[in-house]
Amino acid sequence: FRLVSLLGTEQMLGRLAPAIQRADEDYADDGSRCVAFGGSRADLSAATGFKHSALSVLGIALRPPSAVPLSPWLAALAAAAGMRRPTLLLLDGVIKPENVGSLFRSALAFGVAGVVLSPGCADPLYRKAIRASMGAVFKLPYTFAPHWPEALSQVKAGGYGLLALHLQGSVEHTAALGANGGLAPSAAAPAAAGPPPLRGVPLAVVVGAEYEGVGEAAAQLADERVRIAMAPAMEVDSLHGVDSLNVNVAAAIVLERIFAFNRAEPADE
Least confident segment among 4-13, 54-63, 121-130, 256-265: 54-63
Contact 41, 13 (CB under 8 A): no
Pairing assessment for the beta strands 203-208 and 88-92 based on DSSP bridges = parallel
Sheet of 171-172: strand order equals 142-144, 114-117, 88-92, 203-208, 161-165, 224-227, 171-172
The DSSP bridge partners found for residue 60 are 5
- pLDDT digits over 80-126, tens only? 999 999 999 999 999 999 999 999 999 999 999 999 999 999 999 99
Phi, psi of 45 (to 5 degrees): -65, -40
**H-only helix segments in the chain:** 10-26, 41-48, 70-76, 97-109, 127-133, 150-157, 173-177, 216-219, 247-262
HEC-encoded secondary structure of 166-217:
CCCCCEEHHHHHCCCCCCCCCCCCCCCCCCHHHCCCCEEEEEEECCCECCHH
First to last CA, the chain: 38
Backbone dihedral region for residue 106 (phi beyond 0: left; psi -120 to 50: alpha; all else: beta): alpha
- Give the C-alpha separation, 222 to 197, whole Å: 10
pLDDT digits (tens, 9 = 90+) for 126-156: 989 999 999 999 999 999 999 999 999 999 9
What integer is the mean pLDDT of 53-72? 80
Mean pLDDT computed over every residue of the chain: 84
- Rounded to whole angstroms, the Cα distance separating 260 from 252 reads 12
